[in-house]
Amino acid sequence: MPRKSGSKRSSWGQIDRRESGRYRARYLAPDTSELLSLGTFDLKGDAEAALAAVRVDIQRGKWKHPNAIQAETFKAYALAWIEQRLSSKGEHLRENTKAEYRRYLDKGLAGFADNRLSAITAGQIRAWHLERSNAGKTAAAREARLLRAVFETAVRDGIVDSNPVDTRLTKSSAGKKHRAPTADELAVMLETITSAAPRLRLALLLAAYGGLRLSEWRALRRRDLEFDGERYSVSVTRQAARSKANWSSWIIGPPKSAEGVRVVHLPATLAAEVTAHLENYVGQFPDSLLFEPAGDAEFLDDQAFNRHWNRARESAGTRRKVSGKGDKPRYENDITEHDLRAYAGTMYAQSGATLRETMAFLGHSTTEAAMTYQRTTGRAAELADRMPAPVTPASPVNLDEVRKAK
């Protein structure tokens, strides 16, 4: 027959034997005096060891309420992090950024969702990254950056002692290599898009000579352009992008960063082009969009632009079909619309702009970002010829001749 249930009590913890013969360990929570259970154990010594471990955590200030530990699962903590995250300027994340991060949690990082933060190890993360990289290296790097950022906050919150995400995982290079177009390729693109959709010619010029992003130039209004009699300046104060949470709606807000709010001066040679566009394709009201969308759409959609942009790239030989079956061909994309910014940044720098001036022109906050938009364009021989020729050294002084002269 099992022995009668008994208990060993103290002012803090207690161990009692259940009718099953197992030992139950309980203790008083230090913050609420709530009686909390550590479960049951086969041996009394195991129950005593469990209580002792909790006692040590309390004395070291590392004890957490079981409910709090349960709430510190990765996904729950990461979702709260996304909502509470502030930039260096004290601003919350943009809605599209939040939606993108939530997508990372639901897809690439879903395997960590129910794990406690303190239980996720560096080894697990390396194994995850290796497997994830096989599916997509760029996605793995982006997800690793979010993972590391969340753990940085967890370190500051005292949930984990150190960040288990190696910085090298966040820098995994991958993806397709793109380049800025040459002047000849850009000329073919402009000619093609002028024939097919003349109202979009200025869009390419704003990207290639003003460094504007697609989301920036499609949000431009007549009021955003100013002519001083020689050239146009463009006030970039907002962008328009599809909501990643609800694709049927648009998010209209400031540019990608605080530095993205800028005034861009277009070359004087484009003045006639801009004037013609304003006269032929833009309404007379200050809020009339430079690029009117079709139908009831609020802004020019990516798909509407890409239909003509793809044809322009193909004409210039910068978008080649490499394979594909049926209605799903696969293309080799040498140049994207965003690469027109690289063309703008490269030409602006080669015209004599300093790095800081180029950063302001493109709306960048870091030199690293600005440098990625400056590409070499085959000027090695020209630059070499600009180097000063070696100077013929003066004849060495002959001390004997100097003495004789004296």
Torsion angle (degrees, nearest 10) of CA 184, 188, 193, 199 = 40
Q: Are residues 188 and 323 in the same domain?
A: yes
Task: Tell me how far apart the alpha carbons of residues 180 and 183 are, in angstroms, rounded to a whole number.
Answer: 9
Domain residues for the domain of 94 are 71-170
Evaluate whether residue 30 is within a structural domain: yes
| Domain count for the chain | 3
If we measure between CA atoms, which residue out of 179, 254, 242 comes closest to residue 216?
254
**Within 13 Å, how many C-alpha atoms sit on residue 258's CB side?**
9
Is the pLDDT confidence value at 354 over 60? yes
Out of 42, 63, 84, a domain closes at: 63
- Rounded to two decimals, the pTM is 0.64
Sign of CA dihedral 33, 35, 37, 42: positive
Rounded Cα distance, 335 and 82, in Å: 33
Mean pLDDT calculated for residue range 293-300: 87
Q: Are residues 142 and 253 in the same domain?
A: no
In a domain, 317, yes or no: yes
Mean pLDDT confidence for 291-317:
91
Contact 63, 54 (CB under 8 A): yes
328 burial level (CB within 10 Å; 0-12, 13-18, 19+): exposed
Residue 195 has pLDDT above 90, yes or no: yes
Q: Measure the CA–CA gap between 36 and 52, rounded to whole angstroms.
A: 14
213 with 162, same domain: the answer is no
Q: Are residues 190 and 143 in the same domain?
A: no
d(CA 20, CA 3): 9
- Within this chain, do residues 13 and 119 fall inside the same structural domain, yes or no? no
Query: Same domain for 155 and 262?
Result: no
190 and 308 in one domain? yes
Q: For residues 335 and 375, give the distance between their C-alpha atoms in angstroms, rounded to a whole number.
A: 13
Quick check: 112 and 74 in contact, CB under 8 A? yes
161 and 238: one domain? no
By C-alpha distance, which of 222, 344, 332 is closest to 286? 222
Residue 173 pLDDT more than 70? no
pLDDT confidence of residue 58:
86
